[in-house]
Structure 1
Amino acid sequence: MAASRSAEQTHLRDMEGEDAGTDEREMQSDEEEEEAMGDANSDDEADTSEDEKENEAEIQRLEEQLSINAFDYNCHVDLIKLLKQEGELLRLRKARQKMSELFPLTEEIWLDWLKDEIRLTEEEPNREKVYELFERAVQDYICPDIWLEYAQYSIGGMGSPGGIEKVRAIFERAVTAVGLHVTKGQMVWEAYREFENVILSTVQPPAGKIPSHEEQKLLNAQLERIQTLFRRQLAVPSIDMEATFAEYGEWAENGVPDSAQHQYKKALQLMEKCKAYEEALLVAEPPKLAEYQSYIDYELKEGDPARIQLIFERALAENCLVPDMWAKYTKYLDRQLRIKDLVLSCHERAVRNCPWTMGLWKGYILALERHGAEHQTVLDVFEKALNAGFIQATDYVEIWQAYLDYLRRRVDFSKESSKELEELRSSFSRSLEYMKQDVEERFGESGDPSCIIMQIWARIEALHCKNMQKARELWDSIMTKGNAKYANMWLEYYNLERSYGDAVHCRKALHRAVQCTSDYPEHVCEVLLTFERVEGSLEDWDVAVQKTETKLNRINEQRAKVAEKEANFARQEEERAEQRQKAKADKKAYKKTQKGVRVGEKRKAEQDSFADEWNDDLEQGSKRHKGNGDQMTEELMETETGLFGKNAPPGYKSAPQSSKTDGSVAQRENYDKPELRNDNCSVFISNLAYTLEEPETKLRTLFETCGPIKQIRPIFSNKGTFKGYGYVQFDSQLSVSEALKLDRKEVEGRPMFVSPCVDKSKNPDFKVFKYNTMIEKHKIFISGLPFSCTKEQLEKICTSHGNIKEVRLVTYRSGKPKGLAYVEFANESQASQAVLKLDGTEVEGNTISVAISNPPRRNTIDKPSSSRHFEDIAPRQFHGARGKGRTQLSLLPRSLNRQSGSGSKVENGTPAQSVSATSNATGDTKPLSNADFAKMLLNK
């Protein structure tokens, strides 16, 4: 027993020792974990501090950029995101405030801002600031979510004096603004009814208690208020109307009234008509412009102003940068609703969203005048328009005209002088100075070549102010700006003098017109003679006849010279055409003769040589390999077929082929058989390197993923070198579309061109690429790009400004970039926005230039049959991009130039060697004498 007890004690001591050791190890482990956690925390703190430093540097960069260009929309958005991430609430509030002063904010930005302000201002006295912010939010766009948030926030203040009435007022404004929204309006209606149900619970008497007369009156009024909400909601078409109708039936003690049922059925019918448009919006992808346009057209036919206004607002909430949509909406409000606050608010939002659109500013100025706005307000709007950054010089002319028209309508011309008249004259002077300094410097053109503004000013001075002296000064200035050669300008001036001047100045104007006009001199001559018939003396008549005859004789002489030169030019062109046709015919006959002789001799020599070698090889093979004669014959036949191809002896057939490379040899025998070709299943490959090894194998590797290949035809020269182009024919026409996707794929450092295979002799009008010469307002042209810029980088730069349809980098034929690119956007407004935001920015250290795509016209030499101005005497010639220098004289006779330029013929895509017109039938070229060269030089 003692021994066992001692053993037990020893075992207990060992266990206690182990426990103690375990505790020590656990404590040590905890300490190590704490140290590790401390190290990790210090690392996290270091990383956090680094992130904070980077974010702060980025915030400062964005703030500096906004100080330079305050209208950078994306920069505002990025700054707000960073400040919110860093928790800089005060700076965040200032950033949002600055952005809201320049741009209407989207629904998401407003909701974030409102929720942050609600959390910051939980105290009662600060609720008014939040109310003011909500009022600003609902002015930018009509958004159901913002109105719902506004109403719910107001419920929190219903305990204050007048709080319940304020909540009801906000709910009433909300259902008026968005209650007709088919998909989201129901939320506002239900929230309104829930609020009224809460009020109902407060006025209901406890169970078993008989309400007093006043209590019963309040109860009945609240019940009627809820019933009214049910009836109003059921009269509006919306999603899930059936559930609302069922809820009303359960709530009402006597069921749904007949009048409410009638309104409900009408709303259901209307909902059925709208259902297709709503479903189209649900499945469409943003911006859903086409779907909204169809919906708007439907509502315009129905003619309900409230519904029309709401569908416009819904469309603009998702397409706020579409000027045409704003123009259509403002025009509807101007002509139909004519409610001052609503119209002016819409115009203001339109120019804030699309400031680059002149038409919206012009409509805004007219709307301000139409609704009697103060002069200072109109002036402020006009000054903002001048700083909006229009993209065309003519836009500035139109906005100045709109403002000057407004100023002219303010003037009372019955008074000799007034403040308004002085302001009108000073504004005319300022407009001319503005067009000369600002517009011409920016666009390189005046924007008002016909001097429309000066013409209007002159008419106002003559008609209203009776100041012909000022009008004449203005017309003198108009004529000195390059308009004196136009007959219509002189006739405008003559009509002005005829209406408000005297006969002396009329005669003087017509005499100057006859002297200076170059476009329609007969017309002004006829007007002068008619004037003298009516008012002139015999002496005046004689002077007019003499002057007009002199002018017309001089003009007729010039026209005769021009006609003679054109006739000579046409005759020379006909002679050149005849020479080209004759040269082509001679060359064709010569080549046919030479080809027949050479091919016959070559084929006979090859056949004789091949027959001798063939017999020798067979004899030697039969002697060396008596038992393997057949095998030797097959090997020789395969070898010779691979070498000779189509030049094998008559009756010779190749052995069956197995591999792809050998199979192509058999395919070459079918290249010249038209019945085996199919252009619909073929593509033309070009711009490949001449040094491409095994082009057939390379093309097969490139295009075998597009579909089964029937044959590949690389084109070789007479020397056997690859010409850089060929044809690929597929088994199916479906493979062609896949092959065309490989266009401009880089092959050994060069872009490979893939185009449809079309016989141009049968389709002469077919062109793979048509050069556009018209302005492309939905496309921008970018120059100054670094050569290292890729298509993906450029697409990333431009994608923030709109939906990109295509990005094309301009390259040389070798594939090297030119630093130019075209970017096509979904619509014109996005392209305009990209021009405003990207022009002058830097890309990898290069300052790029961005403009609306406006390709130059192709330079072509005028044909003699074309009608040209009689002053254009000689046909234009073009020598390169910058023309031909005066000292760059060509010492080669023109006749040789014409032969080399026009006598070449293209066969199978390869220019044939030009044959001299002096070559004889045997191919020998006659030496040219000095007399021959003299004839060439004198042949003009």
Structure 2
Amino acid sequence: TKDPWWDPGRGCVMNGKNSAESNIALSHISFLLHLCVTPQLSINAFDYNCHVDLIKLLKQEGELFRLRKARQKMSELFPLTEEIWLDWLKDEIRLTEEEPNREKVYELFERAVKDYICPDIWLEYAQYSIGGMGSPGGIDRVRSIFERAVTAVGLHMTKGQMVWEAYREFENAILSTTQLERIHTLFRRQLAIPLMDMEGTYAEYEEWSEHGVPETVMHQYKKALQQMEKCKPFEEALMVAETPKLAEYQAYIDFELKEGDPARIQITFERALSENCLVPDMWAKYTIYLDRQLKFKDLVLSTHERAVRNCPWTMGLWKSYLLALERHGADHQTVSDVFEKALNAGFIQATDYVEIWQAYLDYLRRRVDFKSSKELEELRAAFSRSLDYMKHDVEERFGESGDPSCIIMQIWARIEALHCKNMQKARELWDSIMTKGNAKYANMWLEYYNLERSYGDSIHCRKALHRAVQCTSDYPEHVCDVLLSFERVEGSLEDWDFAVQKTETRLNRINEQRAKAAEKEANLARQEDERAEQRRKAKVEKKAQKKVQKGTRAGEKRKAEQDDYQDEWNEDAGEIDCPKRHRGNADQPTDEYMETETGPFGKATPPGYKPAPPATKKAPQGAAAAPPAHRQNEDNPELRNDNSSVFVSNLAYTLEEPEAKLRTLFETCGPIKQIRPIFTGKGSFRGYGYVQFESPVSVPEALKLDRRDVEGRPVFVSPCVDKNKNPDFKVFKYNTMMEKHKIFISGLPFSCTKEQLAEICKNHGTVKEVRLVTYRSGKPKGLAYVEFADETQASQAVLKLDGIEVEGNKISVAISNPPRRNATDKPGSSRPTGDAMPRQVYGARGKGRTQLSMLPRSLHRQSAPAGKVENGSAADGEPASAAGNAAGEPKQLSNSDFAKMLLNM
């Protein structure tokens, strides 16, 4: 169904052949056309893209009548682009070849050349007219069209030359003795215009002219050539730039405006607008130039009309159009019709409707003869309609009036007071203005006062100022001063006393309110300062704590070095092996051997050995301080009920009032008995805690809140299980076996959601679960696992999805086969490790280029099986070498083993 078309003699064809399949396809297109595009246009007739889609579908369907109607409808609402016009014109030309009446095509060309200045359309128009050259007056018509074409696009720097050449070819075709002068004239006119490839035209004229090139023509040619050299950089910039070339055209227009040639300025604007027809600023700049410089009625009004047809949503273009119509003396009905079109254009702001109404009301006011009642009644009716329009249409659409200051009503009141001498109507309007929320503003009351001062009387002036003093909240002092100044000039003593009393009472109340507000603001500022001071102190304490911890780690490192030295000394002295022990903190004994009189070494202690002080003594400098009570008890099972508690983690360390945050998060799960956030010794939050409910029934509801976002981080909620009783408990177990019913996807865009991924995968099988892999902070890694109903669906998904692009990212898809995790990576892991690959150990300088280690073989450090050898001693009293050889694996050497090696070398 490629390139369907119609043929006027044979009906609907497809690829040049009648086909039943083609007709079925076209019927489907027609159905989709009625189902999708047509209803959309009935809702919004100004949907440009729907018009384009409708024309494309009708062209494929091959219905000429409906295609003409759709194009006609779009042409009434919008200017058509060069491509749409050329398609339309070529279709009509093809159909009128056998018809004697060609006037319809001429009318269509006339409409086409008005939308944009397009050299290709003018050239097509001239060539079509040549076909009717044999009819009466045909030659004159062709010549007239060519003259209009060179006037419109002859200055086009890059495409104007084609029109000139076509004009000369036409004159050559009908050449006679009396017409040689016409060709000379065409050459002279063309050579006087700066165009690209002027040199070729000049050489052609030299060859064609029998008497050479006249001096005047040569002078004009050189002048045009100089102008072309000035314009050439701008033309070259346009040639290399990408569409729509807005910046390049702006620079070109500014250059032509400085040069000041109206014809060249106009053609440059037209060229820019042909590629930037949806840029309102470009149309505004062009219309302003025409309004202020050229001032030709037909050109100005046609350009304004094209501007609002291209950018109907821009209120400024409609406003300029109304002013241009009034400026050039358009009739009242035309101005009213344009205004009604503007109201239906669909502006994007409520204030745009206020401005367009103001422009139209200003026009109506300027045409009113206030001695006649007809125009005045029309003006009042327009004011009344504008208020109703703002109240109903604009407020319903935007949720706001668009005219909060009631500008239109103020203008109406001034007109009634100034021109109609109707102060009663003006006062009614101002009462309505004040009831719309403007009574609290001093400037509104002073505007009303000035109106009364100019056209009213002192009684209403005083009344207005008294109401202003009572209602104004933004600048009451100013209103009070105006009232007192008025009474000094107009009032009696009683009026003065009453005004003074009223202003003092009002100002005292205002001052009290301001004092309360200032006190409240000061309290808020003080609280903010206190919080800032607390944050500063916490930061200082945190730095100090880090220094203490750093010193503690340094002390532990020195203690470990001392223990290694003691082990080596015992081995060299021939003493018994040091039993396996766990090194503790510097302020506690390491094991039971520390409590004997002779020490842990059986006989005498090595030189320099000092037993650790008892736990009741003060910790030495650099050692870690004893944890506070809430840290000592944070993992105590007695403080929580495992069946009715949950463990909450991955909270932000900077979370303020974590207990309140956790209570807000979990209060919907059931009654809460206790919430215990965990803090450090310095009082800073550790990012986790416990929530204990009054009933175990609340725990499943709380677990549903896992990964809930709290201040930008996903919170982990897991069952509260005592690890001492259940050491193998894990909330999420990492699967190490191949999962043939599940696929692994990598390379996903970070913006991809579970719903989007499920939508992509559902076409290849039944998706049971989608899991996106994220960091602890909740940020995506670009990885995901998708589980299908069976292995077959997963295999098909791998074949279909691997290598496709998702939002510009090429993804990789494979069957899920997670790598094995080494059990020795995590201490205390209960997973068997007999089949785990031993970790390759390289030297201090890493892996060499030849992948050979430069360390002697006798000093190679080998890994030992977990649970068999630890710290150089075999479990259950076996020698380390025996334990290693029994397992068939190399042993792990201790510091004492290295000492023996060094002594034997």
TM-score by length of 2: 0.61
Q: Which residue of 223, 230, 239 maps to 2:180?
A: 223
- Rounded to whole Å, the distance in 2 between the matches of 1:545 and 1:51 is 89
For residue 555 of structure 1, report the CA deviation from its aligned partner: 1.4
- Gap change, CA 1:320 and 1:615, over 3 Å in 2: farther
Given the alignment of the two structures, is residue 60 of structure 1 paired with residue 34 of structure 2, yes or no?
A: yes
Local SS of the residue matching 1:527: helix
Could you report, residue by residue, the CA deviation over 1:570-629 in whole angstroms, capped at 9, with x for unpaired residues?
444445554554555456546644653x43553344234444556778999xx9xxxxxx
Give the aligned partner of residue 340 of structure 1: 297
CA contact under 8 A between 1:404 and 1:428: conserved in structure 2? yes
Report whether the alignment pairs 1:386 with 2:343.
yes
Contact kept in structure 1, 2:194 and 2:227, CA below 8 Å:
yes
Distance 1:231 1:792 in 2: 68
Aligned to 1:191: 166
**Secondary structure, counterpart of 1:125 in structure 2:** coil
SS in 1 for 2:101: helix
**Does the alignment pair 1:367 with 2:342?**
no
Q: Which one of 536, 545, 552 corresponds to residue 491 of structure 2? A: 536
Match of 1:905 in 2: none
| Other-structure match for 1:326 | 283
Residue 178 (str. 1) matches residue 132 (str. 2): no
Q: Deviation of residue 440 (structure 1)?
A: 1.1
Give 1:296's match in structure 2, choosing from 253, 260, 272. 253
Instruction: Say whether 1:118 aligns with 2:93.
Output: yes
Native 8 Å contact 1:751 1:813 kept in 2 = no
CA distance in 2, matches of 1:303, 1:383: 37
Partner of 1:603: 557
Q: Name the Cα RMSD after superposition.
A: 3.4
Preserved CA contact (<8 Å) 1:289 1:319: yes
Corresponding position of 1:545: 500
Could you list the per-position Cα deviations for residues 765-818 of structure 1 after superposition, in whole angstroms to 9, with x for gaps in the alignment? xxxxxxxxxxxxxxxxxxxx997458999xxxxxxxxxxxxxxxxxx945599x
**Counterpart for residue 74 of structure 1:** 49
- In the TM superposition, what is the alpha-carbon distance from 1:64 to its structure 2 partner? 3.4
Give, in whole Å, the separation in 1 of the partners of 2:550 and 2:444.
Answer: 68
CA contact (8 A) 2:391 2:401 kept: yes
Which ranges of structure 2 fall in alignment gaps of 5 or more residues? 1-14, 578-648, 651-685, 689-712, 715-743, 761-776, 783-905
Residues 249, 272 of structure 2: 8 Å contact kept: yes
CA distance in 2, matches of 1:152, 1:571: 84
CA displacement 1:408-456 (0-9 Å, x = unmatched)? 111012x1x4221111111111111111111111111111111111111
Q: Deviations over 1:362-386 (max 9, x none)?
A: 1111111111111111111111111
Distance change in 2, residues 1:80/1:791 (3 Å):
farther
> Which of 487, 492, 500 is residue 447 of structure 2 equivalent to?
492
Deviation at 1:258, TM superposition (A): 0.7
Q: Which amino acid aligns with 1:181?
A: H
Task: Give, as a single letter, the amino acid of the residue that structure 2 aligns with 1:301.
Answer: K
Aligned to 1:507: 462
Provide closer, same or farther for how the CA distance between residues 748 and 306 of structure 1 changes in structure 2, counting only shifts above 3 A: closer
Structure 1 pair 567/103, CA: closer, same or farther in 2 (3 Å)? closer
Structure 1 position 167 matched with structure 2 position 124: no
Structure 1 residues 85-104: aligned runs within 5 Å: 85-104=60-79
Describe the shift of the 1:47–1:455 C-alpha distance in structure 2 as closer, same or farther (beyond 3 A): same
For the Cα contact (< 8 Å) 1:751–1:814, is it kept in 2? no
Question: Which 5+ residue runs of structure 1 have no aligned equivalent?
Answer: 1-40, 204-218, 624-688, 691-716, 726-745, 754-784, 794-811, 818-940
Cα contact 2:750–2:780 (8 A) shared by 1: no
Judged with a 3 Å threshold, the aligned counterparts in structure 2 of structure 1 residues 91 and 567 are, in CA distance, closer, same or farther, namely closer
Task: Report the residue type matching 2:22 in the other structure.
Answer: T
Q: How far 1:44 sits from its partner (Å)?
A: 10
Q: Do 1:750 and 1:815's aligned partners in 2 also have CA atoms closer than 8 Å?
A: no
- Counterpart among 92, 112, 118 of residue 137 in structure 1: 112
2:330 alignment partner AA: A
Instruction: Find the counterpart in structure 2 of residue 240 from structure 1.
Output: 197
Q: CA–CA distance in 1 between the matches of 2:758 and 2:228?
A: 47
- Contact 1:393/1:447, CA 8 A, preserved across alignment: yes
CA contact (8 A) 1:510 1:528 kept: yes
Q: 1:239 & 1:102 partners in 2: Cα distance?
A: 36
Q: Per-residue CA shift, 1:662-715, capped at 9, x if unaligned?
A: xxxxxxxxxxxxxxxxxxxxxxxxxxx99xxxxxxxxxxxxxxxxxxxxxxxxx
Q: Matched residue of 2:394: which SS?
A: helix
Q: Specify whether residues 144 and 557 from structure 1 end up closer, same or farther in structure 2 by C-alpha distance, changes over 3 A only.
A: same
Which of 11, 19, 22 aligns to 1:48? It is 22
| Amino-acid identity (%) | 78
CA shift at 1:124, angstroms?
5.7
Q: TM-score, normalised by structure 1?
A: 0.59
> Which gives a bigger RCO, structure 1 or 2 (Cα 8 Å, sep 6+)?
1
Where does 1:618-633 land on structure 2 (aligned, <5 Å)? none
Matched, 1:471 2:426: yes
Q: What one-letter code is carried by the residue in structure 1 that aligns with 2:313? A: W
Q: Return the letter of the residue paired with 1:560.
A: A
Q: Secondary structure at the match of 1:419?
A: helix
Residue type matched to 2:168 in 1? R
Is 2:123 the counterpart of 1:148? yes
Secondary structure of the corresponding residue to residue 432 of structure 2: helix
Checking the alignment, whether the CA contact within 8 Å between 2:394 and 2:402 is kept in structure 1 is: yes
Match of 1:267 in 2: 224
Q: Which of 272, 276, 287 is residue 244 of structure 2 equivalent to?
A: 287
Residue 66 of structure 1 and its aligned partner are, at CA, apart by 2.3
- C-alpha contact (below 8 Å) 2:442/2:479 kept by paired residues: yes
Aligned residue identity for 2:519: E
Q: State whether residues 750 and 781 of structure 2, in contact with CA within 8 Å, keep that contact through their aligned partners in structure 1.
A: no
Matched to 1:322, the amino acid is V
- Rounded to whole Å, the distance in 1 between the matches of 2:444 and 2:283 is 37
Please give the secondary structure, in 1, of the residue aligned with 2:70: helix
Distance 1:790 1:74 in 2: 30
Q: Which has more helix, going by share of residues?
A: 1
Is the CA contact (8 Å cut-off) linking 2:413 and 2:426 kept in structure 1?
yes
Aligned match of 2:404: 449
Residue 354 of structure 1 corresponds to: 311
Q: Distance in 1 between matches of 2:572 and 2:205?
A: 108
Structure 1 residues 813 and 358, CA, compared in 2 at 3 Å: closer, same or farther? farther
CA contact 2:318–2:356 (8 Å) conserved in 1: yes
Q: Contact between 1:193 and 1:229, CA under 8 Å: does it hold in 2?
A: yes
> 1 CA distance for matches of 2:26 and 2:130?
39
- CA change 1:584–1:67 in 2 (3 A) is closer
* Secondary structure in structure 2 of the residue aligned to 1:126: coil
Letter in 2 for 1:98: K
1:88 and 1:586 map into 2 onto residues whose CA distance is 83
| Contact 1:750/1:814, CA 8 A, preserved across alignment | no
Instruction: Supply the distance in 1 between the matched residues of 2:39 and 2:542 (Cα, whole angstroms).
Output: 73
In the other structure, the counterpart of 1:306 is: 263
| Counterpart Cα distance in 2 of 1:253 and 1:538 | 106
The one-letter code sitting in structure 2 at the alignment partner of 1:162 is G
Instruction: State the secondary structure of the residue aligned to 2:346.
Output: coil
CA gap 1:604/1:182 in 2 versus in 1, 3 angstroms: closer
Structure showing greater radius of gyration is 2
Letter in 1 for 2:290: L
Partners of 2:38 and 2:527 lie apart in 1 by: 69
Query: How many matched pairs?
Result: 592
Instruction: From the superposition, tell whether residues 369 and 561 of structure 1 become closer, same or farther in structure 2 (CA, over 3 Å).
Output: same
State the shift of 1:82 in Å. 2.6
1:426 aligns with 2:400: no
Residues 555 and 194 of structure 1, relative CA distance in 2, 3 Å threshold: same
